[in-house]
């Protein structure tokens, strides 16, 4: 399923030898496989078959327009959290009635834009937000489709920085308060209650938290039905975890997750919305880098590469482990030793991978790639230390194209100016 494979010791992305791309583009750059994106989407689609569902791709995982367009062509919807993501989703051709809008801090401007574009639903996260949406909808003489994002108070496990479903997290409305908030929503003529929403966290690798959350949502929905609310969408959020250590996508967990959805909701006639991000894009992208230097301090070996926390934040922010491999496997001098692979940023946290076997004979200019970097990679990149922001390249069969240019320091300088008073003597 993954389209990054070694052929005769050289890494290929679909039909393209990655070293060939390196001849034309300097590192670091992100490289995506359109085939893997499509395969991931089709697989999830197939597994949900049998129920009424919508896959609303969570744009935050990778918002490159060509990635969005690839999914749009297969009928994907989108989960967006800003006007920027919404504009990108619309530009990529994702239908407005397949777009859900999440996030705790939607601004007035963002709400008005989403209303004008008649999105499928706002996932409302507080009473104040609910009232604001109602007011803006009334002002522009329209009605807003709303779902309440309820917080089921469930610990999803995994890294605390990406857990969202506990009542101490900032997200959603406590499920215990939600009935009153639905009653409140009913009073606004400009609001149309269409759904309910949860999202308990990301990179969840166990079924139990999903099971608990889905059960809670279903029983709450049954209660809402009895009270006469017309809930037509149940949005289950995202969160499917992937295995960062293996080459292949973890199908077993996906089967369990989708079976759970089907068995839990088989008797409802409602539309089940899922918002996967990572699952659809992580293994469809790599980050290609070159070796700059190596050095040994007190028997600890450092390999310094030209990609770091400014390109891929995940290791520094969440202690995430991404495997790094060479673009060209050696046939001679294959002995390895342990290295700490680091980036160029002046921060001790700028570690790309700790304690990993790398060829002893590794040298300046060798190409390496960081695997499964397609999700929360480029979207979280920054120009910290006034570095460039890496470009993005997409492969389709034997062809490839730059889908986002590298942003160079000169480009960033165009946005800055010296304050006028500093120019005087």
Does residue 40 bind ligand LLP (CB under 6 A)? no
Query: CA 381, 385, 387, 391: dihedral to nearest 10 degrees?
Result: 0
Cβ contact 124:130 at 8 Å: yes
Crossing angle of the two packed helices 65-73 and 34-48, in degrees rounded to 10:
40
Query: CA 42, 47, 49, 52: dihedral to nearest 10 degrees?
Result: -100
> What residue spans of 285-331 are helical by DSSP H?
314-318
Contacts of ligand LLP in 209-238 (CB under 6 A): 237-238
DSSP structure class, residue 388: P
The region of 253-261, 277-285, 291-299, 334-342 touching ligand LLP under the rule CB under 6 A is 277-285
The region of 256-264, 273-281, 343-351, 392-400 touching ligand LLP under the rule CB under 6 A is 273-281
What string of DSSP letters covers 44-61?
A: HHHHHTTS-EEEEEEGGG
List the structure tokens of 201: 């966290």
Does residue 158 bind ligand LLP (CB under 6 A)? no
Does residue 265 bind ligand LLP (CB under 6 A)? no
The region of 188-196, 246-254, 272-280, 391-399 touching ligand LLP under the rule CB under 6 A is 272-280
| Binding residue (CB under 6 A) for ligand LLP from 239, 315, 326, 374 | 239
Contacts of ligand LLP in 159-218 (CB under 6 A): 162, 199, 202-203
Cβ contact 55:120 at 8 Å: no
| Binding residue (CB under 6 A) for ligand LLP from 153, 275, 306, 311 | 275
Q: Give residue 54's region: left, alpha or beta (phi > 0; psi -120 to 50).
A: beta
13 is catalytic: no
CB of 156 to ligand LLP, least distance (A): 10
Find all residues with CB under 8 Å of 50, minimum gap 6, and list them.
Answer: 262
d(CA 388, CA 406): 7
Does residue 110 bind ligand LLP (CB under 6 A)? no
CB of 314 to ligand LLP, least distance (A): 5
Contacts of ligand LLP in 331-390 (CB under 6 A): 376
CB of 115 to ligand LLP, least distance (A): 20
CB of 273 to ligand LLP, least distance (A): 10
User: Mask 49-88, x = binds ligand LLP (CB under 6 A)?
Assistant: ---------x-xx-----------------x---------
Find all residues with CB under 8 Å of 370, minimum gap 6, and list them.
Answer: 286, 287, 289, 307, 312, 322, 323, 324, 352, 353
* Active-site residue list: 346
Q: Which residues bind ligand LLP (CB under 6 A)?
A: 58, 60-61, 79, 102, 162, 199, 202-203, 237-240, 275-279, 314, 318, 376
């Amino acid at each position: 399923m993954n389209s990054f494979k070694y052929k005769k010791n050289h890494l290929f992305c679909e039909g393209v030898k990655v070293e060939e791309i390196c001849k034309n583009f300097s590192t670091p750059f992100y490289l995506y496989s359109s085939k893997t994106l499509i395969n991931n989407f089709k697989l999830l689609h197939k597994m949900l078959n049998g129920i009424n569902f919508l896959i609303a791709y969570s744009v935050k995982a990778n918002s490159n327009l060509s990635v969005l367009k690839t999914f749009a062509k297969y009928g994907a919807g989108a989960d967006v959290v800003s006007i920027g993501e919404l504009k990108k989703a619309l530009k990529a051709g994702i239908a407005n009635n397949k777009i859900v809008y999440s996030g705790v801090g939607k601004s007035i401007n963002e709400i008005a834009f989403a209303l004008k574009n008649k999105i499928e639903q706002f996932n409302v996260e507080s009473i104040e937000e609910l009232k604001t949406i109602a007011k803006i909808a009334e002002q522009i003489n329209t009605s807003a489709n709303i779902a309440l994002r309820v917080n089921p108070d469930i610990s999803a496990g995994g890294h605390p920085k990406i857990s969202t479903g506990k009542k101490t997290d900032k997200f959603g409305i406590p499920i215990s308060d939600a009935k009153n908030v639905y009653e409140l929503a009913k009073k606004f003529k400009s609001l149309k209650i269409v759904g309910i929403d949860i999202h308990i966290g990301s990179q969840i690798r166990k079924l139990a938290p999903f099971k608990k959350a889905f059960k809670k949502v279903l029983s709450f929905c049954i209660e809402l039905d009895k009270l006469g609310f017309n809930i037509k969408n149940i949005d289950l959020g995202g969160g499917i975890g992937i295995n960062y250590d293996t080459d292949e996508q973890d199908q077993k967990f996906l089967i369990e997750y989708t079976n759970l959805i089907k068995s839990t909701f088989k008797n409802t006639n409602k539309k089940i919305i899922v918002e996967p991000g990572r699952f659809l894009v992580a293994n469809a992208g790599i980050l290609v880098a070159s070796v700059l230097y190596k050095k040994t301090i007190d028997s600890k070996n450092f390999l310094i590469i030209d990609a770091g926390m400014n390109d891929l934040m995940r290791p520094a922010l969440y202690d995430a482990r991404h495997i790094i491999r060479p673009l060209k496997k050696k046939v001679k001098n294959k002995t390895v030793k342990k290295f700490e692979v680091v980036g160029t940023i002046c921060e001790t946290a700028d570690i790309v991978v700790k304690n990993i076997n790398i060829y002893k004979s590794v040298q300046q200019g060798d190409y390496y790639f960081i695997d499964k970097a397609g999700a929360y990679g480029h979207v979280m990149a920054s120009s910290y230390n006034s570095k460039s922001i890496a470009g993005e390249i997409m492969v389709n069969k034997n062809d490839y194209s730059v889908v986002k240019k590298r942003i160079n320091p000169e480009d960033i300088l165009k946005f800055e100016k010296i304050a006028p008073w500093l120019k005087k003597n």
